[in-house]
Amino acid sequence: MDVLEIDTPFDCRFKCWFCGENSHTNVEIKDPEIKGGLDIIAIPICDECKSYGCHPLATSLEELKQTIKDKIIIRSSKELSIGSNWTEKELNESDFTGNAFEGFKKSGWEMFLIAKERVNFKAWDLCIDGIPVREVLPEEIFEFDGLEFSNFTGMLNYLSKTFFLNKNFLKRVLTLYGNDRAIEAVKFCRLVPNESENQREQAFEDLVESFREKEELVLRNKKRDALELNISIDSIMPVSIRKNTIPAASIQWALNNGVIDFETLDMLEDNFFEFFSFEGDKKVFQMFNALEIYMDKRLSSPVWRETKDPNITLWKYVESQFNN
């Protein structure tokens, strides 16, 4: 059985195909996608990657690549955690004392960068005598704060170990945030006591509810953007609440923009100030404050809303448009 050596670019002559470190030896493996698995291919590898002993059990080059990457992450977890806990500036300005700590202060960031470079290393394309030996498919990358992982499990293991998080809890939270928002997921998990299962469960339920409310708000905003409300100011009555008068113009703006809750009002605050900018800053602020008082009264007091709000019919019409 032939042993085929892959083409190596000039600038990668002495590099490990798996991590980019110095290499002076090869690892031999069969791959079913390369010449039907009939030939053995030789891949440059460094001493550390070879020492992991993954190659005898690997059934494909891709499997070997991912397994070695996971091993690198585990072996380098302490160095990688430096970048998760400090910035370069914070480390340089830290008040560590003692010979050991001084050494860490001086070389810690460089250790992190070396480890990060190994994890994020991109291998060159596989070719033999200038001919690609397999189709190059785009890799699915899982990223956290500049670190790239070849699979979800590797990222999950690293994050749970580095930040001392419950792995199952982190996994569930990541399914909500999505892999592209892993930093936010970790920040959320770190706010929840790790030793309390009940608190983790309650926090997860609250998070699910929060996402549901956000989805509803997004859907409502899409409906609001599609509405073409054109309620005449002549049909609107000004409202007086606790010596505050809410002018018809403010109420018309709220009605025509579908402002049926405080979330929408907060989102459109800049729009309100821009729309009424001709009134002057002081007057617009007073108008917005009065509108907030009106909205609070409408939303917090159903009895007042039904019996004393002179614009109840108009509001019901606007609200009905969101239910269509």
State residue 94's pLDDT score: 75
Per the domain annotation, does 58 fall within a domain? yes
Indicate whether 17 and 128 sit together in one domain.
Answer: yes
pLDDT at 304 over 90: yes
Distance between CA atoms of 38 and 48, rounded to whole angstroms? 28
Per the domain annotation, does 250 fall within a domain? yes
Q: Taking a C-beta distance cutoff of 8 angstroms, is the pair 134, 31 a contact?
A: yes
Indicate the number of domains in the chain.
2
In the predicted model, what is the mean pLDDT of residues 128-154?
Answer: 78
Q: How would residue 13 be classed by pLDDT, with cut points 50, 70 and 90? A: confident
Indicate whether 133 and 22 sit together in one domain.
Answer: yes
State residue 100's pLDDT score: 57
Q: Any idea which of 32-46, 190-204, 262-276 has the lowest mean pLDDT?
A: 32-46
State residue 261's pLDDT score: 87
Report the percent of the chain where pLDDT is more than 90: 40
- Residue that finishes a domain, picked among 82, 114, 137: 137
- Residue that finishes a domain, picked among 117, 137, 157: 137
Indicate whether 10 and 132 sit together in one domain.
Answer: yes
Per the domain annotation, does 254 fall within a domain? yes
Q: How would residue 140 be classed by pLDDT, with cut points 50, 70 and 90? A: confident
Q: Residue 241's beta-bridge partner residues?
A: 244
Q: Which of 272, 255, 262, 324 is nearest to 292 (CA)?
A: 262
- Residue that finishes a domain, picked among 87, 108, 137: 137
Per the domain annotation, does 173 fall within a domain? no
Q: How would residue 88 be classed by pLDDT, with cut points 50, 70 and 90? A: confident
Q: How would residue 23 be classed by pLDDT, with cut points 50, 70 and 90? A: very high
State residue 98's pLDDT score: 60
pLDDT for 250-294, tens place per residue?
999 999 988 888 888 998 899 999 999 999 999 999 999 999 999
Distance between CA atoms of 251 and 103, rounded to whole angstroms? 65
Per the domain annotation, does 181 fall within a domain? no
Q: How would residue 139 be classed by pLDDT, with cut points 50, 70 and 90? A: low
Indicate whether 14 and 130 sit together in one domain.
Answer: yes
pLDDT for 207-231, tens place per residue?
999 998 888 877 777 777 777 788 8
Pull the structure tokens for residue 124. Answer: 């060159």
Q: How would residue 51 be classed by pLDDT, with cut points 50, 70 and 90? A: very high
pLDDT at 18 over 90: yes
pLDDT at 205 over 90: yes
Domain that holds residue 299: 233-321
Per the domain annotation, does 216 fall within a domain? no
| Sheet hosting strand 3-5, strand order edge to edge | 3-5, 40-45, 25-30
Q: What are phi and psi of 28, to 5 degrees?
A: -105, 135
Per the domain annotation, does 26 fall within a domain? yes
Indicate whether 132 and 252 sit together in one domain.
Answer: no
Q: How many CB atoms lie within 10 A of CB 190?
A: 12
Long-range (24+ apart) CB contacts under 8 A made by 97-101 are none
Q: Residue 152 carries which side chain, given as an amino acid letter?
A: F
Q: How would residue 197 be classed by pLDDT, with cut points 50, 70 and 90? A: confident
Q: How many CB atoms lie within 10 A of CB 47?
A: 12
